[in-house]
Homo-oligomer: A and B are copies of this chain.
């Protein structure tokens, strides 16, 4: 699965969030990082569309400005997502691809609700993107919301790194079991490039995760048998 991350940040160079996310995806070989820039030149529509064609998952990544993406991404939408290319009803080319949103908030996520200072939920304010996915016949993924990056602790940043990598590369929606499998796969990839002693330590973690997973699978099987007995 190929993922295209379309990054729209008018002050990209000054954004610690974007720098962090860029580092987080640097080693993922199925991910293409595509930064939009505002150079006052018309967009190269054909090559932008070509990029989209090659991706299975398309991510709009932006800081939230006035409850949507910066104008930079809107201009891209207005120019690149032409009718013939996009409308599912007219054999559009995006049908069955996935659309994800990675957005960073300057204000606390818990204020995005009725009665909060923002008044509307993230789901509600992102409706135009949900409608776009709907019109293009795309699967809309649950957005990854980055809540005030500057205030995250080191542990929260580590957590975000994993969540972000999963958002770009793991199958979605991501259930617990798939999350573990994804984690094992990443560890196995990483293991190869490490020195011998480190490889063994990583192997221990992998074994531990696998054992836990098998234990969980056992428990699930037992619950299933109990239920069948009850019903029978």
A129 — nearest CB in chain B belongs to which residue? Answer: B67
What 1/0 flags go to A8-46 for Cβ under 8 Å of B?
A: 001000000000000000000000000000001000000
- Measured between beta carbons, the chain B residues less than 8 angstroms from A69 are 74
- Known contacts A119-B134, A125-B127, A134-B118; decide if A70 and B78 are in contact (CB<8 Å): yes
Tell me how far the C-beta of A65 lies from the nearest C-beta in chain B, rounded to whole angstroms. 5
A41 — nearest CB in chain B belongs to which residue? Answer: B40
Instruction: Give how many A residues have a beta carbon under 8 Å from the other chain's beta carbons.
Output: 29
Question: Could you tell me which A residues sit within 8 Å of B by CB distance?
Answer: 10, 40, 65-72, 74-75, 77-78, 81, 89, 117-120, 124-125, 127-128, 130-132, 134-135
**Known A66-B128, A70-B74; 19 more pairs at CB < 8 Å:** A66-B77, A67-B128, A68-B74, A70-B78, A71-B74, A71-B77, A71-B78, A74-B74, A89-B117, A118-B131, A118-B134, A118-B135, A119-B130, A119-B134, A120-B131, A120-B134, A124-B124, A124-B127, A127-B127
Tell me how far the C-beta of A112 lies from the nearest C-beta in chain B, rounded to whole angstroms. 9
- Measured between beta carbons, the chain B residues less than 8 angstroms from A125 are 127-128, 131
Interface SS, A side: helix
- Measured between beta carbons, the chain B residues less than 8 angstroms from A119 are 130-131, 134-135
Q: How far is the CA of A169 from the CA of B173 in the complex (A)?
A: 49
